[in-house]
Amino acid sequence: MEVLRATAIHAEPYYSHGLRKTFLIDALKPTVKTTIPQEAADIGYEVDEEKFLARAQRQIQLGGLETEIPFGWPQSLQRSLVWEPSNVKEEDYVYLLTEDDKIEIETALEYFKSDLSTYRSKLFVG
């Protein structure tokens, strides 16, 4: 299903960044030249909020960011689309392990930690 992005001037199909890149959708559009060279983000294993904020600020300065929600998307989420603490019961999302579950997990862990021959000898003994 094709979703259209409506603007005052014209409507154009909305495609995600990934689809645009994969299928070269924007290949024939003129590109915007920037004075700041594009490079891979310096992202480490741990979150560095200072670097994140600097990247975000650079991206805002470059411009070209989407400022509107695509046509046809909801402007806000209503009750039926939003979880609230009153409609989420812990027992609906917590799985209590039975003794059989625990034995199965221990057996799988033992198998993972040992080689196959050791596992087979323990499995078929007694």
For the stretch 94-116, pLDDT in tens is: 888 999 999 999 998 888 887 66
Give the Cβ contact number of residue 18 at 10 Å.
Answer: 8
Mean pLDDT of 74-97: 79
In the chain, the amino acid numbered 38 is: Q
53 pLDDT higher than 80: yes
Q: Is 96 exposed, middle or buried (0-12, 13-18, 19+ CB in 10 A)?
A: exposed
Whole-angstrom distance, CA of residue 72 vs CA of residue 110: 52
pLDDT for 35 equals 61
Q: pLDDT-based confidence at 27, cuts 50/70/90?
A: confident
pLDDT for 118 equals 62
**What is the pTM assigned to this prediction?**
0.29
pLDDT for 86 equals 80
